[in-house]
Structure 1
């Protein structure tokens, strides 16, 4: 088997934390036997170790302060359309050269909206490649919350279209993603928790040996955003002369600003540039005063450090404030707000923390890079299993063509009640495939607006979905509305009432098919259904006979993409493809009199983007084969009734 290859697309705009985290992941993947390409769109960062990875430097962009929507190609030079076009071309060229098995986009689409055009071009490019790579998002423990709810919805929609999952480089028991980002069942199902990514070996080769011992160490990240904290710390140092202070300044800080800090420093304070051996210096320090960036917090955890956190919170930035607040609740750090902080308050807080024992940071695991390598191996194996399953389906479809056989499919969707965006999406798919659709409507909840909307649509029939879709089963039994635990006489009355209601509401689109909720029905009820107006019953299983009872046809479904036992969402893709393959093979092996149209079962109200995308792939493939077609339930019932 060839060496797997991963490409990571990352752009750091302010500090270097995003690149540093992805570099740590890349090195762990390289150690695990992967080829790694990192396409970096931020400014070159000499302190970030990309050993073992191929680094592709895109034309860099950066921001100033917290204005992430205004990007610069160089200091004072705005990035223009030509800059972004060149970046996109370079990104696509890097993808083509790497031909990765896995593509990771760092932060996007849950962030980096200002770079959406180049990320979207990359995602579309990756999707067009066959075999398609696994596509994963990558996010830290805390995100900057969206300014508007629709942005979270747009990000979720994009994830459903392009992504297989999202790597969550954090731990829900420490800081759940929902603390900073609107969560949903669909997103939670696709979230892959790796634990925190920490570069534990960073700076070991440059360890100075004694620098920082028993000092107060002040750090503000790699950008100029740490300057206010550095100035305040030097003022506080004059109030706490019994300790040496060491202030580390990011490489992005101008020489003039760096010189000004040196002039401000008292004799017992050292001002120097950010150091590659920062973790070692931190481990020797008596106290850390820092912002609350992801990598900094992990360095604090590794050092078991006493910590004062002064979160970066300019503009609309909330990420560090949220993270720091969670850590403070666990007693791991003291949090001070920069906008109200004074030098005396910082000096007093430093005295307090110095007198306290070192906190226990052991709850924050830091092996996320190694875990990410394991996750990618699992994801790639899953994708290869899916590709192999598609090959088996193609083979059985080719067999059907060779035999001159056409596989009939019919489509039932359950739980319709009213017009909704989800219903519109379902109807659009049916129209695109020119597929007849049977909507199982809940009579007690059916709205006249649904009838009005469906009257505008061709090729839609309406079946009866129970009565009120109410569970009457005992707590120890599986859910059922028309189960054996109820009086048959009562169920007959409800079934008749449901038939009459929907016939009146939907007129010529009404189809006298009874669809019991949860696909469960008492055997004693079946013989009574023809007498109250029904021609067929539809559940979920292979039928054993053409009639479920005398005068009552069986029109069942057999293929459902939803993982009900797993809590919803898309079931195992390879398993779904193989099930379809087996159903078609069964049709090819059946005698002409035993043929049963393959029934597809969907539930539009609970679909997410991943279910819809897979459904598109499956149906497009079946119809493109020339060996499968949709037929209407109405036509099937008429044909089978004619054979009695």
Structure 2
């Protein structure tokens, strides 16, 4: 069986991990997969049983993206970086993959060059002729010195990569809108369509009191940010309780600090219309049952909204001058698909009115390519098959 090594480094949220694992799920029928996770482990995260997972000592970033930090504070960052570099080289040498997929790098994660450049050099020097693919979302973060950044990306892509897979729909969002030099890339470049999650076979039994009322689902992804949204929802719940029949289910995310989680529980004490949980691996099924989703505007949550066609209010993350979520959200709002939450609306009275208005709206629907998992698998198979054809001559 063909072998595939997939590297994913999530540093603040868990969106990169979720998208990467969905892609891997679609590759397992054709490849023996070794998945390298460089970020914090998520308990109860749904991983296909036939995927070999290697969890490197986890590295994250601070909320301002200024410095890398070791999740295990008893460990030294420099020592962990050296260990991770050597571990990646050893895995490649032992696993001998036909294909290496690296998520985001070099368009992002360049602070992980300490381990990725040695890995890519090792791939280049190997006789295995391993094909190297960059797995990229539809919008990338722009930099203050964008021209210099794009020049470095082009050099790295043209030196090490055979293919770029953009997980988006070019009719909706072109990569050129956030990276101007796509035409300077010498490797194959393909749009795959958006990567969406599928519900698993586990059934969820929602209680009758929830099914009888409008269900409002609230989430903030991994939980390291978006706390202001959760605070507002908790405060708004007392207003909504007097105005409309409903039930609010809130998922804070697995990375939310314990003290913040406890604070939310305390704030919600006595709110009969609000239940708070950390995480569920069956989140998409809750969204399918929801009448309204209130969330951050990450890639995966947005795809869940498009898949389930639920009414939605989304708050774009704008930290580190990141415009990715704002750009995608604004396009969807202009098309009548979602309602964007602005910071000025995070006031309970104002927010309650917005919730009631959204519950009474019927969102528009658009045709957008959501076949990212299937098409990614096809492109990966194609590039690996080319390798085998060349090797046979």
Looking at CA atoms only, which structure, 1 or 2, has the larger radius of gyration? Answer: 1
**Matching residue within 6, 25, 34 for 1:27:** 25
Counterpart mapping for 1:599-618 below 5 A: none
**Matching residue within 250, 253, 266 for 2:253:** 250
> Displacement, 1:165?
1.3
Relative to structure 1, the CA distance from residue 184 to residue 372 in structure 2 (aligned partners, 3 Å threshold; closer, same or farther) is closer
Relative to structure 1, the CA distance from residue 364 to residue 343 in structure 2 (aligned partners, 3 Å threshold; closer, same or farther) is farther
Counterpart mapping for 1:338-349 below 5 A: 338=343, 341-349=346-354
1:324 aligns with 2:321: no
- 2:277 aligned partner: 272
**Matching residue within 59, 65, 68 for 2:57:** 59
SS at 2:300's partner residue?
helix
Aligned length: 383
> Displacement, 1:125?
0.7
- 1:222 aligned partner: 222
Counterpart mapping for 1:193-592 below 5 A: 193-202=191-200, 204-205=201-202, 207-210=204-207, 213=211, 214-241=214-241, 242=244, 243-265=246-268, 266-338=271-343, 341-361=346-366, 363-388=367-392
Relative to structure 1, the CA distance from residue 105 to residue 345 in structure 2 (aligned partners, 3 Å threshold; closer, same or farther) is same
- 2:68 aligned partner: 71
Relative to structure 1, the CA distance from residue 97 to residue 208 in structure 2 (aligned partners, 3 Å threshold; closer, same or farther) is farther
On the 8 A contact 1:107/1:138 being kept in 2, the answer is yes
The 2-side partners of 1:5 and 1:77 are apart by 35
SS at 1:224's partner residue?
coil
CA deviations 1:423-450 (Å, max 9, x no partner) are: xxxxxxxxxxxxxxxxxxxxxxxxxxxx
> Displacement, 1:78?
7.5
CA deviations 1:308-345 (Å, max 9, x no partner) are: 11011123222211221121122111112236632223
> Displacement, 1:170?
1.0
The 1-side partners of 2:308 and 2:148 are apart by 40
> Displacement, 1:5?
0.7
> Displacement, 1:210?
4.6
SS at 2:260's partner residue?
helix
> Displacement, 1:10?
0.7
The 2-side partners of 1:107 and 1:221 are apart by 19
On the 8 A contact 2:251/2:279 being kept in 1, the answer is yes
The 2-side partners of 1:46 and 1:97 are apart by 27
On the 8 A contact 1:26/1:50 being kept in 2, the answer is no
CA deviations 1:548-597 (Å, max 9, x no partner) are: xxxxxxxxxxxxxxxxxxxxxxxxxxxxxxxxxxxxxxxxxxxxxxxxxx
CA deviations 1:119-176 (Å, max 9, x no partner) are: 1111101111113111010111222113312111101110000001111111111221
The 2-side partners of 1:316 and 1:195 are apart by 26
**Matching residue within 130, 141, 164 for 2:162:** 164
CA deviations 1:318-375 (Å, max 9, x no partner) are: 22112211211221111122366322232222111111114325x2332211211111
CA deviations 1:365-404 (Å, max 9, x no partner) are: 322112111111111122233344xx5xxxxxxxxxxxxx
Relative to structure 1, the CA distance from residue 322 to residue 77 in structure 2 (aligned partners, 3 Å threshold; closer, same or farther) is farther
Q: Calculate the TM-score normalised by the size of structure 1.
A: 0.57
Q: Calculate the TM-score normalised by the size of structure 2.
A: 0.92
- 1:110 aligned partner: 107
> Displacement, 1:275?
1.5
The 2-side partners of 1:76 and 1:344 are apart by 41
On the 8 A contact 1:63/1:71 being kept in 2, the answer is yes
CA deviations 1:32-58 (Å, max 9, x no partner) are: x21111011101112432212110111
- Larger RCO (CA under 8 A, 6+ residues apart): 2
Unaligned runs of 5+ in 2: none
The 2-side partners of 1:75 and 1:345 are apart by 41
> Displacement, 1:30?
0.7
On the 8 A contact 1:208/1:277 being kept in 2, the answer is no
Q: Which moved more, 1:213-222 or 1:304-313?
A: 213-222
CA deviations 1:186-234 (Å, max 9, x no partner) are: 23973211111112134x4152345854211110001321222111111
The 1-side partners of 2:234 and 2:186 are apart by 44
CA deviations 1:467-517 (Å, max 9, x no partner) are: xxxxxxxxxxxxxxxxxxxxxxxxxxxxxxxxxxxxxxxxxxxxxxxxxxx
On the 8 A contact 2:7/2:103 being kept in 1, the answer is yes
Unaligned runs of 5+ in 1: 392-644
The 2-side partners of 1:115 and 1:337 are apart by 33
The 1-side partners of 2:182 and 2:139 are apart by 16
The 2-side partners of 1:255 and 1:125 are apart by 41
